[in-house]
Amino acid sequence: MSDDREILDTIEAFLKRDVVQHVHALEQSDTWPEAIVGQMRELGLFGAMIAPEYGGLGLPCATYAAIVERIARVWMSLTGIFNSHLIMAAAVQRHGTEAQKREFLPRFASGEIRGGLALTEPDCGTDLQAIRTTARREGEHYVVNGTKTWISNGIHGSCFALLVKTDPHAEPRHRGMSLLLAEKGPGFTVSRKLHKLGYKGIDSAELVFQDYRVPVDRLIGGVEGMGLKHALSGLELGRINVASRGVGVAQAALDEAVRYAQIRKTFGKPIAQHQAIALKLADMATRTEAARLLTRRAAEMYDSGARCDMEAGMAKLFATEAALENATEAMRVHGGYGYSTEFPVERLYRDAPLLVIGEGTNELQRLIIARQLVERNPA
């Protein structure tokens, strides 16, 4: 516990020293925060959950979730830069061959290689089994053709866990899916940067693969047909990350609303003393704390090694809806000032909607939760 406190204190100092004063300008200009990323690399964030034997910090998921929450309270975009990267690392650490672990994990942990997860395609988001990107084996290489979109770190990253169809005719479809470690090179191009309502600073890109060649030894785990399973296990961590971001955004919105409600006066008293505003603040605080507890529970289950797709789904669902609702209520508490770009509330209002979509829509989370309820409680 004392180690956790020391880590969180270090993150707090980093945010105050190197981040807070730059957020507004970087977010408004949609500029990739190169200097801040360098500081994140020095702090070891790109190796946060990679085992110490491979050069990482080996943090438990519960500590990692607390770090993500704290950073998201200041600028949510930063959490995406290392989240997608750590999902890729988790796929290698959990499912990779020993040779793959030795070659890639130390370089992932140091930040020498940074990247993410390349799953989504232009005609395929939630239904990953419908992907069209193919990898045809030719000797000691796979030849990849297809397009991925909305890929975090797509421009500034250099390596991606790439979901492909190694057998497009397999039934069921997931048996024909594999996950490759794809480093940028000939045939792998970034076609464009995708512009977004919020979530500025982090690059989201479209990636195009045209006769791109990947060595066979880059097949994660060394066995074809396991790609969807490997990707979904990584998404457990991703959903806990997004839930933690939701807690951070919900807390930031609450903090801004509580502060402003004590400064702004109407009818001779601070608006916090008006019942209409007081009820909003109470609901915002309760939602935030409930979201935090659900997220902590999911992180603890992840640490235990137990299956936690239902718990991660519950945390992601509730925390991101809390973020969206709190951001909206904070804007209403601020009135006209909440609509101004001079205040952070409008940034929270633009960032929050991404959370209910990313790492699987909240509609999908509800289906996962319901399916698991039935499986775990047979009649």
Distances (CA, A) of 312 to 16, 213, 308, 347, 359: 30, 35, 6, 26, 11
- CA–CA separation, 183 vs 209, rounded Å? 11
- What is the helix (H) or strand (E) element at residue 243, kind and residue range? helix 227-263
- Write down how long the chain is: 379
Distances (CA, A) of 138 to 23, 117, 167, 207, 214: 47, 24, 13, 22, 10
Q: What's the N-to-C CA distance of the chain in angstroms?
A: 41
Q: Give Cα 300 to chain centroid, integer Å.
A: 18
Query: Is 242 in contact with 234 (CB distance < 8 Å)?
Result: no
What the block records as the tokens of 219 is 């097949």
Query: Is 213 in contact with 202 (CB distance < 8 Å)?
Result: no
What the block records as the tokens of 364 is 């999908």
Q: Using CB atoms within 10 A of its CB, is residue 229 exposed (0-12), middle (13-18) or buried (19+)?
A: middle
Active-site residue, 359 included = yes
Closest CA to 133 of 185, 193, 204, 188: 188
Catalytic residue among 289, 359, 363, 375: 359
- CA–CA separation, 210 vs 331, rounded Å? 46
Phi, psi of 136 (to 5 degrees): -100, 125
Phi, psi of 210 (to 5 degrees): -130, 105
Q: Using CB atoms within 10 A of its CB, is residue 116 exposed (0-12), middle (13-18) or buried (19+)?
A: buried
What the block records as the tokens of 39 is 């500081």
Please count the helices (runs of H) and the strands (runs of E) in the chain. Answer: 11, 9
Phi, psi of 150 (to 5 degrees): 55, 45
Q: What is the set of active-site residues?
A: 359
